[in-house]
Amino acid sequence: MSPDSSDSAIFGPGDRVRVSERYPASHHRTPWYIKGKTGRVDVVYDAYMNPESRAYGQAGLPRVTVYRVEFDQADLWESYRGPANDRICADVFEHWLEPA
């Protein structure tokens, strides 16, 4: 972790989080299939410039902590019939997460 994320990260490994279900008309970097879903923080990455504001020529500041969040496949896909322990990981910016 960088000093940016270690001091500002609001979630830690093992925390249960829910991905916001909003669908803004503007550019965003959160996959549709995890919106509204609950997962577990696996890794806390550094804080990075926000690509959602950079897409419109802004500075992308303040930097935003990024998390690798693990989801059960069965929680994401209604018809999923694979092994119960199958998981998928997604990198999610902090402003898309809330405590579960």
pLDDT digits (tens, 9 = 90+) for 7-40: 689 999 999 999 999 887 777 889 999 999 999 9
Proportion of the chain above pLDDT 70, given as a percent = 93
Tokens representing residue 51 in the block: 């690509």
User: What is the pLDDT averaged over residues 51-67?
Assistant: 89
The secondary structure element, H or E, covering residue 74 is: helix 73-76
Q: Which residues pair with 69 in a beta bridge?
A: 41, 90
Average pLDDT across the chain, whole number: 90
Task: Determine whether 73 is exposed, middle or buried from the number of CB atoms within 10 Å of its CB (0-12, 13-18, 19+).
Answer: middle
User: From CA 95, how far away is CA 100, in angstroms rounded?
Assistant: 14
User: From CA 100, how far away is CA 79, in angstroms rounded?
Assistant: 23
What domains, with CATH codes, occur in the chain? 3-99 (2.30.30.50)
